Amino acid sequence: MATASNVAGTNPAQAQEFTRPVRSLWSDAWLRLRRNRLAMASIVYLFLLALVAIFAPVIAPHSPGRPTTTELRERGVYRQAAWVVDEKTPKRSGIWKFPLGTDSAGGDVLSRLIYGTRVSMVVGFIPMIFTLTIGITIGLISGFAGGKLDSLLMRFTDIIFSLPDILFFIIVQTAFSQTAFGKTFNGLLLIFLSFSAVNWASVARLVRGQVLSLKEKEFVEAAEAVGVRRGSILFRHILPNTLAPIIVAGAFIVPSAIVTEATLSFLGIGIQPDTNPNNPFPTSWGQMILEGKSAIDSQPWILIASAIAIASITIAFVALGDGLRDALDPRQ
């Protein structure tokens, strides 16, 4: 230590290093995240996708809705991607006006892909907020209250946790998809609710565990000793300390919600397609995969393009989640 201060005294550059500003957990985590190239690339990619989702009407070369009769003549049905030449039926050869070709109704595949970004973004983030809200509330109450309420809530959580979730979603979709409630926002509301109704259980378990261990910590004892009210202890001392694992959990909820929507739409019971050009959510990538599956021989690019879109968005979110976990959990 003595030599260190000697050196610091003689060398101004090192003296500065010794008096650098205090770094919080969050700025530390941010520094670690910035060093993770895969996570940073994912953030950039997802930011670009968010822009595409917001500015879809500006970016998309054509309307995602059903084309008019005159448009249809030009577009053709199952027109191949621009670089594919169809020798048997020349009018189906690709042209650059429709870079990824057209689908069975003459819809421009690229424009639909661009609009599909919206569904994936919305379906990723809104259920995450619902799920975290329910999970954090139940977890906090359960962990903080303890006793009978705790065991009651946890028994309920266990039951929800052991429900086979995709089965539950399928049944909920079948039950409500034809009702007015099930048709709100093309069925998106129903997907949000059924997803959050099952997935909060793991968040609640996580938060409860955190609260139980934090309750025993010295700083909580100190806060109690100086007479801080229970509510303040919960929200000002315990909740902020559970944030790191909650953020990581939230980051993994997003891709899982996106996959759920895509899976349900692929099974034909997810969001409902809409040919109305003014609908902000006319199509989803899962739906395009379903269409691409039936056009696997006639126009494979519907399938390829939407498969790449879903694969890349989920990989990006998982890579970001991994990066956040490594950054927020210094033990790793």
Partner 1 sequence: MIGFIIRRVLAMIPVLFLVALITFFLMKQAKGGPFDQEKEVAPSTIALLNRKFGLDKPAWLNTAEFNNRMSSDGPLAAVRGLFDSQFGNYMLNAVQGDLGPTYASKGTETVQDKIKQTFPISLRLGLISLTFALVVGFPLGILGALRQNTIFDYFSLIISTIGFSVPTFVTGLVLLLVMSKVFGVAPIKDPSVWEGFSMSYFPPAIILGLGTMAYITRLTRSSVLEVKRQDYIRTAKAKGLGDRVVIMRHILRNSLIPVITILGPAVAGLVTGSFIIESVFRVPGIGSEFIGAIGSRDYSMIMGSTLFFSLLVALGNIMVDLSYGLIDPRIRNS
Point out which span in 21-29, 121-129, 140-148, 266-274 binds partner 1 (CB under 8 A): 266-274
Among 56, 172, 191, 246, binds partner 1 (CB under 8 A): 172
Q: Is 254 helix (H, G, I), strand (E, B) or coil?
A: helix
Binding part of the chain for partner 1, among 75-83, 99-107, 119-127, 255-263 by CB under 8 A, reads 255-263
In 162-269, alpha helices (H) = 165-176, 180-183, 188-215, 218-225, 230-232, 239-266
163 binds partner 1 (CB under 8 A): yes
With CB under 8 A as the contact rule, which of the stretches 6-14, 23-31, 89-97, 166-174 interacts with partner 1?
A: 166-174
85 touches partner 1 (CB under 8 A): no
Q: Give the torsion through C-alpha atoms of 72, 78, 80, 85, to 10 deg.
A: -90
Distances from the Cα of 77 to the Cαs of 38, 86, 223, in angstroms? 39, 13, 69
87 binds partner 1 (CB under 8 A): no
CB 73 within 8 A of CB 67: no
* Amino acid at the residue 267: L
Q: Is residue 68 near partner 1 by the rule CB under 8 A?
A: no
DSSP letters along 18-75, please?
Answer: HTPPPPPHHHHHHHHHHH-HHHHHHHHHHHHHHHHHHTHHHH-SS-SSPPPHHHHHHH
Cα–Cα distance measured from residue 103 to residue 279, given in angstroms and rounded to the nearest whole number: 19
Tokens matching residue 205? 């378990």
Residue 195 lies near partner 1 (rule: CB under 8 A): no
Taking the least distance from each CB to partner 1, the nearer of 207 and 289 is 289
Interface with partner 1 by CB under 8 A: which range of 15-23, 49-57, 65-73, 165-173? 165-173
Q: Measured between alpha carbons, how far is 211 from 234 in angstroms, rounded to an integer? A: 9
- Beta bridge partners of residue 108, listed in sequence order: 102
Examine residue 152 and tell whether it contacts partner 1 (CB under 8 A).
Answer: no
- The label of the residue with tokens 């500006």 reads 58
Cα separation, 144 vs 137, whole angstroms: 11
Nearer to partner 1, 144 or 266 (CB): 266
Calpha distance 313→122 (Å, rounded): 13
- Per CB under 8 A, 103 contacts partner 1: no
CB of 312 to partner 1, least distance (A): 9
Among 46, 220, 239, 289, binds partner 1 (CB under 8 A): 289
Closest to partner 1 by CB, 198 vs 214, is 198
Q: Output 110 or 172, the one with its CB closest to partner 1.
A: 172
- Say whether residue 10 binds partner 1 (CB under 8 A): no
Instruction: Specify which residues 195 forms β-bridges with.
Output: none
Closest CB to partner 1 among residues 153, 310: 310
The interface region with partner 1, picked from 44-52, 86-94, 171-179, 213-221 by CB under 8 A, is 171-179
Q: Which of 5, 16, 179, 232 binds partner 1 (CB under 8 A)?
A: 179
Should residue 293 be labelled a site residue for partner 1 when binding is judged by CB under 8 A? Answer: yes
Q: Which residues would be at the binding site for partner 1 (CB under 8 A)?
A: 159, 162-168, 170-172, 174-176, 178-179, 255, 259, 262-263, 266-269, 289, 292-293, 296-297, 300, 303-304, 307, 310-311, 314-315, 317-319, 322, 332
